[in-house]
A and B are shown apart, each in its own frame.
Chain A
Amino acid sequence: MAYVAIADRDHALHDPQTFITKYIWSQDHKVIAIQYAVTAIGIGLVALGLSVLMRLQLGFPHAFSLIAPGNYLQFITMHGMIMVIYLLTALFLGGFGNYLIPLMCGARDMVFPYMNMLSYWVYLLAVLVLVAAFFVPGGPTGAGWTLYPPQAVLPGTPGASWGIVLMLVSLGIFIVAFTMGGLNYVTTVLQARCRGMTFLRMPLSVWGIFMATILGLLAFPALLVSAVMMTLDSLLGTSFFLPAVVSMGQPATHNGGSPLLFQHLFWFFGHPEVYIVALPAFGIVSDLLSTHARRHIFGYRMMVWALLAIGCLSFVVWAHHMYVSGMNPYFGFFFATTTLIIAVPTAIKVYNWVLTLWRGDIHFTVPMLFAIGFIFSFINGGLTGLFLGNVTVDVPLSATYFVVGHFHMVMGVSPILVVFGAIYHWYPKISGRMLNDTLGRIHFWVTFLGTYAIYLPMHYLGILGIPRRYYAFGGTTFIPPSAQWANVGITVAALIVAAAQLVFLFNLIWSLTHGKPAGSNPWRATTLEWQTPDTPPKHGNWGSKLPVVYRWAYDYSVPGAKEDFIPQNVPPDEAPGAPAPAAAHGA
């Protein structure tokens, strides 16, 4: 560990001099994290607004003449893509990854600060290109967030000329931004940990973000090449994904391409993408649970191995999204098996979260409420994943509202509850002030109960056979009128949940100036970010001397210790009591 942080060596190189270099063209990972987070939340609000419009159409069909069938498809497409990529991926990695990695690892900054800054600005460009699609002729693409060709680039789909190209270009730019950020996060974790911060002493937040970033670096290239190929198909008339077709009565000029090739490439990215969002959430929620239950995470090493196992397995399950895609059905055997195997490490994580609470000293702070809410939502969403991963069970349920309910519980509600919990948890460090507790509790209860009211009924509508991505259902022989009541109820719940997010936004802004001063470690947490000499941490994070780590991240309620937590940088001789077990000192 003879390593000297790069920030120590070239300190003057990027020390901020002016307002612009400090807050705009900043190379400070904390400022970049906030830039990422604010941008991601901003574009996420657009996606939230789109979902409100969708729900209005579904709850009260045709009552809103501004929503035509094509618009509806544009809304679902942009909602899905924004939420998955531009909000969740960017917020977890660009936001939390940027803020937490250097602080939790005891580094002064990311190892490539300039590239880190570029990463944000390129991400912002990707967002702007995405938003530009709303203002071009034909509007944004309505191909669904999966962008399946041929329909994504053929007439009959909204935005098949301009919209889809802007979407693909924006994704390409996003991937450039992600790669610059991602290489930074990985390198920082590998190279810039402070003295004593061994791998098996790292907080699970860092582990989760680290693994997710590696997944992203391996998975996004598949999306990049498919985006490039589809752009060529669309603009230059190549035929990567387009066979000979008759489009709107006219023979198209394409020949010989394979629509299924795109689906394989897309889901080779798309399934790891689920874990790119999930793993940081897993990691962060582990730290929230441990801190607020005043108890070590249960089975830390198992948790790390589970993260690694999930990460590896996530690359061999992609075709479970394609059981009824027309690929050779024999693939079903393989992908159903791998998919259900991935449930084992995932279940271990759930057990260990609950067992962390067991025999704990649970403080029902707002971050803790969100963390426990996450466990409930994730159990629900994870278990319905066992339906859809198991090929035979998937067939009748695929493409129905069961799928919508499943992935919103597992990939929407669950990670977003962690995001909220994490913001309530780290806001005091970021701003120096606490968020308002009462508003936080209102936000939690409405969001937690409201989202369940939205998505639980959807599963049953799906079992009935109601297909997703339908603008309206019209007359059928099998959908009873009661299904429409369900849609009205879901829409009302969605409107309430959406309104609750305004409470959260208000809290974020109001508490910046009116929140209770937080002090440096309001949650009495062990991890390094709470041990900085200043709150909020200044540029360079640690003042004149880097911290040294002597223990794992979870020395809570150590028997015999004076306090119920021992920070990672407290030497053994200053904290009497039982030493952390071998595991914690390991590696």
Chain B
Amino acid sequence: MPLAIALVLLVLGTVLFHFLSPWWFTPIASNWKMMDDTVNITFVVTGIVFVAINLFMAFVVFRYRHRRGQQADYRPENKKLEWWLTIGTSVGIAAMLAPGLFVWAKFVTVPREATVVEAMGQQWTWSYRFPGKDGVLGATDAKLITPDNPFGIDPKDPKGADDVLISSPELHLPINEPVRMVLRSTDVNHQFAVPQFRVKMDLVPGMVTYFWLTPTRTGRFDVLCEQLCGMAHFAMRGRVVVDDGKTFQTWLSNQPTFSQTTARPAANAAAGQALYTVCSACHGPQGEGNRALNAPKLSQQAPWYLAKQLQNFKQGVRGADNRDIYAKTMVPMAATLADDTAIANVVAYIHSLPDDAPPATLVGDPARGKSLYATCAQCHGAGGEGIWTTHAPRLAHMSDWYLARQLQNFRQGIRGLHSQDFYGAEMSLMSQVLPDDQAVNDLVAYIQTLGHTLGEEHVASAR
């Protein structure tokens, strides 16, 4: 008896939950509404079966419960009933399969007019590539990937020269135009998934995969990695911005082509030295940093990282939060650097400065910090040397008080929440593994003990 009631209540509860649950599909933003339709058809068919069988079972459990003198019926088979059930089931299955296959036929047929966009995944970020005027993506090879050619484009392939490179996890797409997303990974499997688009596909190193869609709604949508790709899988976020055609074209025309990125003149450290005089007032003539002036050590920090941060300061990506008072003081300083060339030059000069270990200013328990650092090591390297592909700067032999302050800023949402600060956002997710202030100090105390492992190779890879 209780079991029969429980079964009825579970069926009712499930149906109620289905209709009252606040969790359902996100509003769709692509042409794949028919995927939602197949899901709905499946819900109707399976829902009817779920309710019918379970209510019948509840009835049976109630009606044929054991009572004194009751005897079970003995009729081992009922061919007719079994055949009807088999046929009925087959019809129900066909009713779900047929629309599914019909929609799948559309999925595998990419429209002729679809434009090509490449999404490239790597641990743990996204970047994108448009084919440029010729409409064809240039050949790539993982072996060609370097900090100067992060996409691994083959310079000998003329089709690659006009490829437009988006070195940011944010992709813009034009509304109402079919897009063939071709997917490439440089390290492990990933998956390009935008819940509002419904369609998604894995990225597999060594091959190129694809899917297609037509964005049907302007807006900003999260890109998630949905194929487990390592420790920071959950933090591998990107964004798709669907624009009207004109806004999209404006955005696209402001992005550099492959030939433009390779044609940039080599950075001039001598020119950078003049620019650095502004910096040296606080950061010191050797880039050694000054605790009293809240200026961290700069020398031997990875050049790509310094350049990125200077750009962030200039664009207000860093220092956006009013609580970040020290970043706020950097904003006008960074503004003294006129353009990317100036930034490259000053960074080149900083890179020529000597690498002296800064004094320790914090007290913490390096033993406890070591276990905390296991998470950090995945991006920043076991020796704290920094890894350019993970966009993780060097930590070893940098100012400890500065590391601690930035960790606190990430933890408290003072840094890393600007909508364009994707790597900062990753760091703010990661910083949550530090439960309290003591953990921050312990961690930094451990990082202070690294440093001696920094060799030539690490400096080279940091470039």
Contacts and interface: CB of A to CB of B under 8 A. Distances in A.
Contact of B209 (A299, A326, A336, A354): A326
B205 A259 contact: yes
Interface string A128-168: 00000000000000111000101100111110000000000
B119 interface: no
Contacts of B73: 295, 359-360, 557
Given A324-B191, A326-B209, 17 more contacts: A65-B434, A69-B232, A73-B228, A155-B378, A243-B206, A326-B207, A333-B104, A347-B89, A357-B57, A392-B101, A395-B35, A398-B226, A456-B14, A469-B234, A474-B234, A478-B196, A558-B74
B367 interface: no
A222 interface: no
A209 B204 CA distance: 38
A245 B188 contact: yes
Interface string A280-310: 0000000000000111111111100000000
B65 A480 contact: no
B57 A376 contact: yes
B451 interface: no
Given A142-B231, A249-B461, A362 B61 contact: yes
Q: Which of B21, B24, B209, B230 has the most CB of A within 10 A?
A: B230
B205 A464 contact: no
Contacts of A558: 74
A471 interface: yes
Interface stretch (A28-36, A106-114, A577-585): A577-585
Contacts of B195: 396, 464-465, 478
15 contacts: A70-B231, A73-B231, A157-B188, A245-B186, A246-B152, A258-B207, A296-B76, A336-B101, A348-B82, A354-B57, A376-B10, A477-B221, A478-B222, A557-B73, A559-B74
Given A259-B204, A299-B76, A359-B72, A69 B231 contact: yes
Interface string B25-48: 110000010111011001001100
A295 B72 CA distance: 6
A474 B187 contact: no
Contacts of B17: 456-457, 460
A248 B203 CA distance: 17
A514 interface: no
Interface stretch (A39-47, A96-104, A382-390): A382-390
A249 B146 CA distance: 8
Nearest to A260: B204
Interface of A: 61-62, 65, 68-70, 73, 142-144, 148, 150-151, 154-158, 243-251, 256-260, 293-302, 324-326, 329-330, 332-333, 336-337, 340-341, 343-344, 347-348, 350-352, 354-355, 357-364, 369, 372, 375-376, 379-380, 383-384, 386-387, 390-393, 395-400, 448-449, 452, 456-457, 460-461, 463-465, 467-478, 480, 482-483, 486, 554, 556-559, 564, 578, 580-581, 583-584
A244 B206 contact: yes
A483 B105 CA distance: 34
A364 B65 contact: yes
B206 A258 contact: yes
Contacts of B256: none
Contacts of A372: 3, 7, 57, 61
Contacts of B57: 354, 357, 372, 375-376
Nearest to B145: A246
Interface string B100-113: 11011101100000
A397 B40 CA distance: 13
A217 B36 CA distance: 40
Given A150-B205, A464-B26, A478-B195, A396 B66 contact: no
B60 A469 contact: no
A140 B100 CA distance: 40
Contact of A344 (B86, B141, B235, B435): B86
A79 B374 CA distance: 21
Contacts of A295: 72-74
Contacts of A387: 39, 42, 46
B164 interface: no
A452 B10 CA distance: 9
A400 B226 contact: yes
B291 interface: no
B224 to A, nearest CB: 5
Interface stretch (B266-274, B318-326, B386-394, B401-409): B386-394
Given A150-B189, A299-B77, A472-B234, A390 B97 contact: yes
B334 interface: no
Contact of A354 (B53, B71, B107): B53
Nearest to B87: A344
A583 B45 CA distance: 34
Contact of B6 (A154, A347, A383, A449): A449
Nearest to A247: B187
Contacts of B60: 354, 357-358, 360, 362
B439 interface: yes
B290 interface: no
Interface in B171-216: 183, 185-189, 191, 193, 195-196, 198-207, 209, 211
A488 to B, nearest CB: 14
A362 B60 CA distance: 9
Contacts of A324: 191, 200-202
B230 A156 contact: yes
A360 B64 contact: yes
Contact of B23 (A375, A380, A486, A583): A486
B362 interface: no
B430 interface: yes
Given A246-B187, A398-B200, A465-B195, A348 B85 contact: yes
B198 A246 contact: no
B253 interface: no
A400 to B, nearest CB: 7
Q: Which of A351, A467, A578 has the most CB of B within 10 A?
A: A467
B122 interface: yes
Contacts of B231: 69-70, 73, 142, 156-158
A557 B77 contact: no
A144 B191 CA distance: 15
A244 B78 CA distance: 60
A336 B199 CA distance: 17
A103 B340 CA distance: 81
Contacts of B72: 293-295, 359-361, 556-557, 564
B213 to A, nearest CB: 11
B85 A351 contact: yes
A580 B75 CA distance: 10
Nearest to B40: A393
Given A464-B24, A474-B425, A557 B74 contact: yes
B202 A144 contact: no
A399 B233 contact: no
A395 B202 CA distance: 11
A336 B50 contact: no
Contact of A348 (B24, B42, B89): B89
Nearest to A359: B73
B433 interface: yes
Nearest to B53: A379
Contacts of A357: 57, 60-61, 64
B93 A344 contact: yes
Q: Which of A69, A247, A556, A584 has the most CB of B within 10 A?
A: A69
Nearest to B73: A359
A249 B53 contact: no
B227 interface: yes
B322 to A, nearest CB: 19
A396 B198 contact: yes
A336 B204 contact: no
What 3 A-B pairs are tightest by C-beta distance, nearest first? Answer: A243-B206, A465-B195, A326-B209
B220 interface: yes
B435 A480 contact: no
Given A246-B142, A392-B103, A473 B234 contact: yes
B280 interface: no
